[in-house]
Amino acid sequence: MSFMQVVDLKVHYPIRGGFFNSVIDWVYAVDGIDMEFEQGKTYGLVGESGCGKSTTGKALIGLEKITSGKILFEGEDVTKDRKSRTSHFHREVQMIFQDSHSSLNPRKRIADILAEPIRNFLHLPPREEMKKIDELLEIVGMPADSKEKYPHEFSGGQKQRINIARALATNPKLIIADEPVSALDLSVQAQVLNFMKDVQKEFGLTYLFISHDLGVVKHMCDYIYIMYKGRFVECGTKEDIYENPKHLYTKRLLSSIPASTPVGREKRKSARQAFEKVYEKHIHKAFDENGRVYDLIPLSDTHYVSASSKKEIV
Ligand SMILES: Nc1ncnc2c1ncn2[C@@H]1O[C@H](COP(=O)(O)OP(=O)(O)OP(=O)(O)O)[C@@H](O)[C@H]1O
């Protein structure tokens, strides 16, 4: 049963010009899309740069003016701008952006950044509020003393964890993640993706995962929307899309992912042993039986991606 439905959503941007700065044309950034969201699932929104992914995410959360169509959240019509939406919606739907740095106010301590949503939505007494901040930092694997620090004192991956902690503060149902790892180093990307999956399991979250990278989406998503010039050319389960793509554009996108490289059982075992033994788990390197070093990015216990060739190792 879906808790959010998007019906024939359109976002058109006017292009102004001429002497009177009048509308001379339109950009059909989102041009009639339908979506549904069920609890606990991850939805992928994929397509090339400029196809309308970010505009869709921003329109869903109310940051972009909707030209026409409808968004229903738990039966309530929320097709309005952000200010006019109910606090229930703001609490239940959160967004994480690609740029982990600029989404955190550099002048505020982490404690104040995390306290903001708690104050706005949960209204906890001071002691409970501090407890909640500690809990959030623990969930995202950050030390408790992080709360006294400022954003610039953290790495990109840590900042994205803090952004996720802030998104989790209101116990949301849906998190819209717009390219959440594409600005991070390759090795950190996998950590953040895995961590997002863990948090999802723990809290029954739904994700809308916006990405141009079909390789990453494959590991994250249950259901995928393929976007091209503001429309969905194909949508379906991960299996539908990856095993039986129908649309030429999907096939083209898929063909741009580096081919999968299944590695034999022995190689996998030795790579894993080396990975654990030599580099003590946290450094993503492994040797194969010929002594070659691999930079491996663990996507799960059994899936790795080579950092250099981006090939998948199962
Ligand atoms: N405020 C705006 N005014 C006019 N056109 C815009 C505006 N914002 C986005 N666009 C245009 O709308 C289209 C969709 O942009 P959008 O950012 O949603 O694409 P995207 O798929 O997220 O791309 P990317 O992956 O590069 O972020 C693009 O042609 C873009 O130039």
Q: Is 52 in the pocket of ligand 1 (CB under 6 A)?
A: yes
Residue whose CA lies nearest to ligand 1 atom number 26: 49
Q: Taking Cα atoms as reference points, which of 44, 63, 293 lies closest to residue 193?
A: 44
Q: How far is CA 171 from CA 25, 37, 61, 125, 141, in A?
A: 42, 17, 16, 17, 17
Q: What is the pLDDT of residue 302?
A: 59
Q: What is the pLDDT of residue 297?
A: 60
Distance between CA atoms of 207 and 221, rounded to whole angstroms? Answer: 8
Supply the angle between the helices 186-203 and 156-168 in degrees, to the nearest 10. 20
State in Å: Cα 236 to ligand 1 middle: 24
Q: Which residues of the chain have pLDDT under 50?
A: 259-262, 275-283
Q: Is 14 in the pocket of ligand 1 (CB under 6 A)?
A: no
Q: How far is CA 26 from CA 17, 22, 23, 31, in A?
A: 11, 11, 8, 11
Q: What is the pLDDT of residue 268?
A: 54
Structure token pair of residue 128? 């409970």
Residue whose CA lies nearest to ligand 1 atom number 25: 49
State in Å: Cα 30 to ligand 1 middle: 9
223-228 vs 231-237, strand pairing mode: antiparallel
230 CA to centre of own chain:
19
Q: What is the pLDDT of residue 146?
A: 94
ipTM of the complex: 0.97
Q: Is the dihedral of CA 251, 306, 157, 91 positive or negative?
A: positive
State in Å: Cα 12 to ligand 1 middle: 10
Structure token pair of residue 308? 């250099």
For all residues of the chain together, what is the average pLDDT? 85
Q: Is 183 in the pocket of ligand 1 (CB under 6 A)?
A: no
224 has which bridge partners? 44, 236
pLDDT tens sequence across 105-131: 999 999 999 999 999 988 899 999 999
State in Å: Cα 27 to ligand 1 middle: 9
Q: What is the pLDDT of residue 157?
A: 87
Question: What number does the ligand 1 atom closest to the CA of 230 have?
Answer: 14
For the residues of the chain, what is the DSSP string, one character each? Answer: -EEEEEEEEEEEEEEEETTTTEEEEEEEEEEEEEEEEETT-EEEEE-STTSSHHHHHHHHHTSS---EEEEEETTEE--S-GGGS-HHHHHHEEEE-S-TTTTS-TTS-HHHHHHHHIIIII---HHHHHHHHHHHHHHTT--GGGGGS-GGGS-HHHHHHHHHHHHHTT--SEEEEESTTTTS-HHHHHHHHHHHHHHHHHHT-EEEEEES-HHHHHHH-SEEEEEETTEEEEEEEHHHHHHS--SHHHHHHHHTSPPP----HHHHHHHHHHHHHTTTTTS-EEE-TT--EEEEEESSSS-EEETTT--EE-
Residue whose CA lies nearest to ligand 1 atom number 3: 13
Q: What is the pLDDT of residue 301?
A: 56
Amino acid 220 reads M
Q: Is 258 in the pocket of ligand 1 (CB under 6 A)?
A: no
Percent of the chain beyond pLDDT 90?
55
Instruction: Evaluate if pTM is beyond 0.90.
Output: no
State in Å: Cα 31 to ligand 1 middle: 12
Residue whose CA lies nearest to ligand 1 atom number 7: 13
State in Å: Cα 228 to ligand 1 middle: 12
Q: Show the CA angle centred on residue 278, arms to residues 273 and 279, nearest 5°.
A: 105
Taking every pair of Cα atoms in the chain, the longest distance, rounded to a whole number of angstroms, is: 71
Structure token pair of residue 288? 């194969």
Q: What is the pLDDT of residue 93?
A: 96
Q: Taking Cα atoms as reference points, which of 195, 215, 224 lies closest to residue 300?
A: 195
Ligand 1 pocket mutation, candidates 45, 55, 226, criterion most atoms within 8 A of CB:
55
Q: Is 25 in the pocket of ligand 1 (CB under 6 A)?
A: no
Q: Is 54 in the pocket of ligand 1 (CB under 6 A)?
A: yes
